[in-house]
Structures are given as structure tokens and as C-alpha cells.
């Protein structure tokens, strides 16, 4: 790619991805309000996503099921099928890679493409339309595409027309198309950051573009200058196909059907979450050196607490030990709505060179033999024969929006 050549970047964003995949698998649901929820049988389960027909009735992500049904009695609610979504995602990215090798997955349902060398500027819109129609024709899935000279503008453009929209956002379009938008709608600006910016009388993206960089850095650190550059359409980041391999954490969380203070129920859920994290780490051949616990209370206030470890861990027992320790230290005895367990500072095992001394080597080696033996027995009998009955819990789908759903893409 020529260094002085103007870039053409696509940001592809699948529309209501989980719900759209379910509709593609069940054509009878087309045109009907549909939502995917963590636990449809429980009134207090939450909506993970919904299609546009359901959104038109007021159904929103994270809304309790009882509230969604009140707004839309005819709402079809399905459990998530993550294997199905991962397969659909892998097929989507195969299509993208057939156009250009410069594809950067961001999550299971969105990614960037650098098509600078795949098309001419005059044929850019035609390429986007052909891509959009190909995905709809072959997979029956709708998407929106943003076209711009950099990743930030392409991301903002893809959000401007949904579903099945294509938007071109050039630098000369920024004053009319981007600057009038509320600053809270800018990619990279969360609710708390928007509130901080409001204290500086920054209410639109245009206000941010013209703000004093020194004051922004005083308020937000280096991110203040970065956001100002983005607001002015400056983003030099390349589309990086290898970015999908960069994962720093693997976690799992679940909203409880009913707010609870029941210690047995809480510990059972933490056990299930730790098991889920272990399974994902095993898929990635990874280990981590930090464990984070998330607790969301009945009033939606949320705390996160973490502990750095001297050595890498990967087993459920080790993850759970730290999670229990953090929970016992930091739970304020108020009813809990959600729990999450995350292993951070992740590395692939092939890159880990643990410094084993004479005292730990034998112990670690013996543990590995034990784990191998347990794994073989588990495969033979269908479950770990050494797990106590009190640790068994219902295996429900755990929601996660991290990059570990992209495993199929990486293979």
C-alpha cells in the first residue's frame, strides 16, 4: 500500500446480530418482535438484545423480561445460542477476507476493513453495496457499513443509518454530519466522560473539537487530547488483522433471577462462573496473573475488586479461591443482582516462561499430572468425579461480549 495514498476504511456492524441470527434460523419469526434473553423462564432475567420490531415497542437491552413483556406481550424470547452466533460470525469474516486481507475483527459482530487497494475511490460505494447484499443473500443477515478515511469516522458513520444502511463520512462532511451530535454519542465517550465534559460546557462533538487541549488533558489525561483529535477527524490507527490475537482478560458474568443475599446461591454462581472462565482459557491455551470480581447490587451500584498474583493461574480451583477471598473481603451484605469473575493479565501459555525454583518445580509438576488425570476421568465419566455435589449448579449460558467469541475466526 502506498504511504501517500488516501485510505478507504469500512466499518461493518451487524444489525441486532443475535436476534437476526435467530430469525435467519427461524424464518417464521421474521417481522415479529423477538429478543434474546439470558434466562427466559425467569421474570427477572434480562434482555441481551432485540430486533427492530421489538425496539419499536420500547424493548431495550438490559431491560428485565417482565418489563419487556409488559411493553410487548407478543414478544418472542429465546435463550442465546452462542455456538450458532460464533459460526455466523466466522462466515461473515470469511466474506470480508475474500475482499481484502486487511480485516480487523472488533467483536463477534463488527469489524474494520481497509479496502484502499481492493477498490478505486469511484467504485467504493458499489463495493459496499455488493458486500452488504452478499451477506444478506448468503447468510440472511442485515448489516450497516460506514465508509471513511479512518477507523473512527468509519465507526461513527456505520451508526448513522440502521438497519441496512451505508454512510459515507468524509473529512469535509465533519462540520455538518458529526459536530452537531451530542458528545455522549461519540465513540469512545462513555456516560461518565460525557458528564465530565459537560462541566467544561462541552455538549456537542463540535464543542469538543474546539475545546482547549490543555484543559482537556487536565480533566481526562492523555485521553482528552486523543478525543479532541478524534472529534476533528484525526485517527492514524491502521486496520490491524493481528489485533484479534491481543486479549488481556477473559471473564464471565450473570444476572441473578432474583436479588439475593443467600451465601450458598452466591457461592454456587461464583463456582459456575469460574468454571466458565477456565473453559474459555483452556480453549485459548492461556493463563492469567490477576483475578477481578464484579458485584452489582440491587440498586445497580457496582464495585470491582482485583488481586494480582505471583504466578499465572488457569484452573477453576485457583480462580475460585481468589474470587471467594475477594468476595468475603468486599461484600457489604446487601442483596446482589449480578456477579462477574474475570482473569486478567492474560498470556498464551506458549509465551509464559514461569520461573520455577527448586521448591515449586516438583509441586507444579505433580499438580499438572493430577489435572491431566482428572481431565481423562472427566472425559470418561462425563463430569469431574472429584467435584462435591454442593458445587454442582445448573449450566446456563453466560453472557460475554469479549473477543473470546472470535476463537473460530482465529483458527
| C-alpha dist (Å) from residue 30 to 1, 81, 87 | 43, 18, 21
Position of cell 477473559? 250
In terms of phi and psi (left: phi > 0; alpha: psi -120 to 50; beta: otherwise), the region of 382 is: left
Query: In what order do the strands lie in the sheet containing 47-50?
Result: 47-50, 34-37, 76-78
Q: Which of 22, 110, 254, 314 is catalytic?
A: 110
Contact 187, 181 (CB under 8 A): no
Q: What is the DSSP string of 70-100?
A: HH-TT-EEE---HHHHHHHHHHHHHHHHTT-
Beta strand 166-168 with 103-107: parallel, antiparallel or unpaired? unpaired
Which cell numbers hold the place of 310?
505471583
| C-alpha dist (Å) from residue 52 to 61, 62, 199, 228 | 12, 15, 35, 33
In degrees rounded to 5, what are phi and psi of residue 292? -115, 135
Position of cell 527448586? 358
Which cell numbers hold the place of 202?
462541552
Residue length of the chain: 411
Smallest CA-to-CA distance from 44 within 272, 251, 332, 338 is with 338
| 3-state SS assignment for residue 34 | strand
| 3-state SS assignment for residue 217 | helix
Contact 49, 14 (CB under 8 A): no
Peptide bond into 163 cis (omega under 30): yes
For residues 43, 46, 52, 53, the Cα torsion angle rounded to the nearest 10 degrees is 0
Residue 375 marked as a ligand binder: no
Q: What is the DSSP string of 151-202?
A: HHHHHHHHTSSTTT-EEE--GGGHHHHTTTSBGGGSTT--HHHHHHHHHTT-
Residue 13 marked as a ligand binder: yes
Smallest CA-to-CA distance from 298 within 349, 261, 353, 243 is with 261
Does 83 participate in catalysis according to the annotation? Answer: no
Position of cell 418472542? 76
Annotated binding site: 13, 109
Catalytic residues: 110
Annotated binding site for Mg(2+): 13, 109
Amino acid at each position: 500500500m502506498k504511504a501517500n495514498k488516501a485510505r478507504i476504511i469500512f466499518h461493518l456492524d451487524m444489525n441486532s446480530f443475535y436476534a437476526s441470527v435467530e430469525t435467519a434460523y427461524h424464518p417464521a419469526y421474521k417481522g415479529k418482535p423477538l429478543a434474546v434473553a439470558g434466562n427466559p423462564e425467569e421474570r427477572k432475567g434480562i434482555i441481551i438484545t432485540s430486533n427492530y420490531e421489538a425496539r419499536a415497542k420500547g424493548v431495550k437491552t438490559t431491560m428485565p423480561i417482565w418489563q419487556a413483556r409488559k411493553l410487548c406481550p407478543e414478544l418472542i424470547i429465546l435463550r442465546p445460542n452462542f455456538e450458532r452466533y460464533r459460526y455466523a460470525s466466522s462466515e461473515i469474516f470469511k466474506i470480508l477476507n475474500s475482499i481484502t486481507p486487511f480485516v480487523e475483527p472488533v467483536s463477534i459482530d463488527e469489524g474494520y476493513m481497509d479496502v484502499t487497494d481492493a477498490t478505486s475511490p469511484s467504485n467504493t460505494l458499489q463495493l459496499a453495496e455488493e458486500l452488504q447484499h452478499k451477506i444478506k443473500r448468503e447468510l440472511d443477515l442485515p448489516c450497516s457499513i460506514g465508509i471513511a478515511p479512518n477507523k473512527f469516522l468509519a465507526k461513527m458513520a456505520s451508526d448513522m443509518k440502521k438497519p441496512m444502511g451505508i454512510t459515507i463520512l468524509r473529512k469535509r462532511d465533519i462540520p455538518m454530519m458529526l459536530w452537531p451530535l451530542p458528545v455522549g454519542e461519540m465513540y469512545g465517550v462513555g456516560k461518565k466522560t460525557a458528564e465530565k465534559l459537560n462541566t467544561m460546557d462541552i455538549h456537542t462533538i463540535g464543542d469538543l473539537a474546539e475545546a482547549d487541549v490543555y484543559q482537556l488533558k487536565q480533566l481526562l489525561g492523555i485521553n482528552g487530547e486523543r478525543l479532541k483529535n478524534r472529534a476533528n477527524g484525526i485517527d492514524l490507527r491502521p486496520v490491524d488483522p493481528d489485533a484479534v490475537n491481543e486479549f488481556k482478560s477473559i471473564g464471565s458474568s450473570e444476572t441473578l433471577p432474583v436479588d439475593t443475599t443467600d451465601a450458598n446461591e452466591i457461592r454456587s454462581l461464583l463456582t459456575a462462573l469460574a468454571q466458565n472462565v477456565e473453559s474459555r482459557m483452556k480453549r485459548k491455551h492461556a493463563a492469567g496473573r490477576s483475578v477481578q470480581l464484579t458485584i452489582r447490587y440491587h440498586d445497580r451500584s457496582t464495585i470491582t475488586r482485583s488481586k494480582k498474583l505471583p504466578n499465572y493461574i488457569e484452573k477453576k480451583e485457583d480462580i475460585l479461591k481468589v474470587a471467594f477471598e475477594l468476595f468475603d473481603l468486599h461484600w457489604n451484605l446487601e442483596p446482589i443482582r449480578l456477579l462477574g469473575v474475570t482473569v486478567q493479565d492474560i498470556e498464551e501459555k506458549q509465551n509464559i516462561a514461569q520461573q520455577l525454583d527448586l521448591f515449586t518445580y516438583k509441586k507444579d509438576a505433580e499438580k499438572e499430572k493430577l489435572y491431566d488425570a482428572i481431565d481423562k476421568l472427566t472425559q470418561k465419566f462425563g463430569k469431574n468425579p472429584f467435584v462435591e455435589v454442593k458445587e454442582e449448579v445448573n449450566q446456563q449460558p453466560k453472557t460475554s461480549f469479549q473477543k473470546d467469541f472470535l476463537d473460530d475466526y482465529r483458527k
